[in-house]
Structure 1
Amino acid sequence: MISVIVPAYNAEKYLAECLTSILGQSYRDIEVLLINDGSTDSTLAIATDFAHRDARLKIFTTGNRGVSCARNYGISQACGDWITFVDSDDKLLPDALMSLVAIAGKTSADIVIGKHTDADKDSLNKSGRYMMISPLEAMAQTLYQTGMIVPAVWGILYNKSVFTEDTLFVPEIRYEDLDIFYRLFENAGKIAVIPDIVYFYRPNPESFINTFSPSRFDALAVTERIEQYMESRHPELLPAARDRRLSANFNILALLEQHDDVRYEDIKTRCWNLICRYRLRSLFNPKVRLKNKLGVLVSFLGRGAYRFLSKKTY
């Protein structure tokens, strides 16, 4: 059985569409764990109506503790051998779970990673194709941001065994997906990647990733933690971790250059100093993506030039 965990907070706008896509899956052996995270709108009423019509939907109401705590609670209540996550404003394509579980059965993979899209689709092309990669290669692909694996927890099927006390979501931080992916990969014996689009992601222009908030700075701490992890456990991945940390500092500095706020001068300086410290490593690393190399080249023109170009392009 697959346990589908759906954290929901004030999700009334798209929740019905989300639940319809899950309960309508061609793979029927599922339970849906909706974690109502202290919603104040009609989220609970919508979920209750669905639960009356389909006993596979279970509703749990918690205080407003955030998506990480909601996911952790869902994991603790899951009865399935497999776990997947769906955000309450997104949806699964009709054969998504069938495609993922078929590859899991064929390959004995502990994690099966599908593709996602932000273009609404009614069906997917079930290719039956897959590629097996090692946990270390999966980490490298994610850290180098090659596009093969996006550090998002949805659109992926996990064997429940990969979730341990050390691989739960860290509460009260943003970039929780980036913070957990390498720990989940560490616990996987085999990882399969499929080319099939299984997940529809709904872009939200008001989400924290598309707006300015001090919580964006969590990316700096998360990528520093990843670097420390790789340095102690997988030093061969240290260049990849440093490049990902460099990328986070590029992004935060570019964001802050749009805001002439003296409160953030110290963060700007720390970002710039790290960029100067790490840039040569990434410039001469053939695995680093072009976008990061261009950022490095611009940085050699000085902070003033970087500030000017950031305001023009960010």
Structure 2
Amino acid sequence: MLNFELRPAWTSAASAAPTISVVVPLYNHAPYIEAALGSVLSQTSAADEIILIDDGSSDNGFELAQQVLSNVPHAKTFRQENAGAHTTINRGIELSSGDYIAVLNSDDLFAPAKLECCRVILRERRDVGLIAGNLGIIDGNGVRLQSGFAIDWLDRARRFLHETKLPQLALLNENFVATTSNMVFARELWRAAGGFQSLRYCHDLDFLMFACANSSVYLDLEEEHIAYRVHPNNTIWEDQSKVRVEVAAVIAQALCAAGPRLFSADLDEQDLAAFLRVLRNRRLTELVSYFQTVFPAFANRAAFYAHVADSSRVAAFQAALAGGGH
């Protein structure tokens, strides 16, 4: 467990035990959706509500989901034209009613006691705005991975956190929370954030940064909360140059919002060393510096990210990276 507060703690207005809605955005994951929903239905502490939205899939995943949920009274299914992950998650949250939201992407799995772990934490700490846990990694066939690129990445990310003891900076270095499937968060926090932002690859990291700046974040790293599925169709593998542009934008925004709260109270040489490690690891210094410089020109995060995603500018941002970002 690692709990950290970078702003005054978020306080829930509810006095009774908080309810948890599970929101499942589905898109072309017919091979995985039955297992994903099964992991929700087999929770040791049941979800209060399940909301599934199919985002214009071209396979039969929605029909499979309807079959699985047909006799579940607290489950509702919806279908829409393709609008993207962040829009689908936001709509699912709007249609839900729980005090807290647990997102499950349709190719991932909840650990059997995920919701129970979160409820225990929330009983003890009603000020917590967001909870994330440890994760296992599985392949497309559901086999747990013990080695390979994804395992090396996760080990490296955890090692940075262990060595620096700077959780928010560690998330900017490499996002060991990994996915929205690993987040349970207060509805009030989501509203304050303006929902998930219009980012194809990094809406999860941006939301984490907002939570760090405006709430109390609880990292339950001694308990596995999800199995994160790694397969060739993961969105993150689509276009690495576009991914890196979004990462640079989120880092710049987080630096502006957090400032010295990224570091220890001492602001000593260990903090400097950790920060320089992040800059070297990410190799985005020039673009981050540019985005950090222009960020104050925009009224809010949404306007800033719209600037970053503007098709007339994306090519220039990608070219800046191709030119040898440090």
Report the TM range for the smaller structure's normalisation: 0.5 to 0.7
Structure 2 residue 99 is matched with structure 1 residue 100: no
- 1:51/1:246 CA distance change after superposition, 3 Å: same
Alignment of 1:187-202 (within 5 A): 187-202=214-229
C-alpha deviations, 1:262-283, integer Å up to 9, x for none? xx898455455541xxxxxxxx
**Counterpart secondary structure, 1:25:** coil
- 1:241/1:179 CA distance change after superposition, 3 Å: farther
Paired with 1:188 and 1:121, the residues of 2 have a C-alpha distance of 36
What's the counterpart of residue 226 of structure 1?
251
Paired with 2:219 and 2:235, the residues of 1 have a C-alpha distance of 30
Paired with 1:246 and 1:170, the residues of 2 have a C-alpha distance of 27
- 1:241/1:183 CA distance change after superposition, 3 Å: farther
Paired with 2:276 and 2:243, the residues of 1 have a C-alpha distance of 16
Paired with 1:250 and 1:227, the residues of 2 have a C-alpha distance of 10
2:170 pairs, out of 141, 150, 162, with: 141
Q: In the alignment, is the contact (CA less than 8 A) between 1:227 and 1:241 conserved in 2?
A: no
Q: How many Å apart are 1:166 and its aligned residue?
A: 3.0
Q: In the alignment, is the contact (CA less than 8 A) between 1:100 and 1:114 conserved in 2?
A: no
Q: In the alignment, is the contact (CA less than 8 A) between 2:29 and 2:106 conserved in 1?
A: yes
Structure 2 residue 78 is matched with structure 1 residue 60: yes
Q: How many Å apart are 1:113 and its aligned residue?
A: 1.6
Paired with 1:93 and 1:233, the residues of 2 have a C-alpha distance of 32
1:210 pairs, out of 218, 224, 237, with: 237
Structure 2 residue 147 is matched with structure 1 residue 118: no
Structure 2 counterpart of 1:159, one-letter code: A
2:105 pairs, out of 87, 90, 101, with: 87
What's the counterpart of residue 159 of structure 2?
none
Q: In the alignment, is the contact (CA less than 8 A) between 2:51 and 2:92 conserved in 1?
A: yes
Paired with 1:187 and 1:232, the residues of 2 have a C-alpha distance of 10
Structure 2 residue 57 is matched with structure 1 residue 39: yes
Q: In the alignment, is the contact (CA less than 8 A) between 1:143 and 1:241 conserved in 2?
A: no
Structure 1 counterpart of 2:136, one-letter code: T
- CA RMSD, 1 decimal: 3.3
Q: In the alignment, is the contact (CA less than 8 A) between 2:132 and 2:177 conserved in 1?
A: no
**Counterpart secondary structure, 1:14:** helix
Identity %: 22
**Counterpart secondary structure, 1:163:** helix
Q: In the alignment, is the contact (CA less than 8 A) between 1:167 and 1:184 conserved in 2?
A: no
Structure 2 counterpart of 1:107, one-letter code: R
Structure 2's unaligned 5+ residue stretches are: 1-18, 145-164, 264-271, 286-314
Q: How many Å apart are 1:206 and its aligned residue?
A: 3.1
Paired with 1:246 and 1:231, the residues of 2 have a C-alpha distance of 19
Name the stretch that deviates more: 5-14 or 161-170: 161-170
Paired with 1:92 and 1:232, the residues of 2 have a C-alpha distance of 31
Alignment of 1:165-184 (within 5 A): 166-171=193-198, 173-184=200-211
Structure 2 counterpart of 1:226, one-letter code: I
For CA contacts below 8 A with separation 6 or more, give which structure has more relative contact order.
2
- 1:195/1:41 CA distance change after superposition, 3 Å: same
Q: How many Å apart are 1:105 and its aligned residue?
A: 1.4
Structure 1 counterpart of 2:125, one-letter code: T
What's the counterpart of residue 37 of structure 2?
19
Q: How many Å apart are 1:115 and its aligned residue?
A: 0.9
Give the count of matched residue pairs. Answer: 248
- 1:188/1:273 CA distance change after superposition, 3 Å: same
Q: In the alignment, is the contact (CA less than 8 A) between 1:249 and 1:271 conserved in 2?
A: no
Q: In the alignment, is the contact (CA less than 8 A) between 1:104 and 1:110 conserved in 2?
A: no
Structure 1's unaligned 5+ residue stretches are: 123-135, 252-263, 276-314
**TM-score, reference length from structure 1:** 0.68
Q: In the alignment, is the contact (CA less than 8 A) between 1:230 and 1:241 conserved in 2?
A: no
- 1:105/1:29 CA distance change after superposition, 3 Å: same
Q: How many Å apart are 1:121 and its aligned residue?
A: 8.4
Q: In the alignment, is the contact (CA less than 8 A) between 2:132 and 2:184 conserved in 1?
A: yes
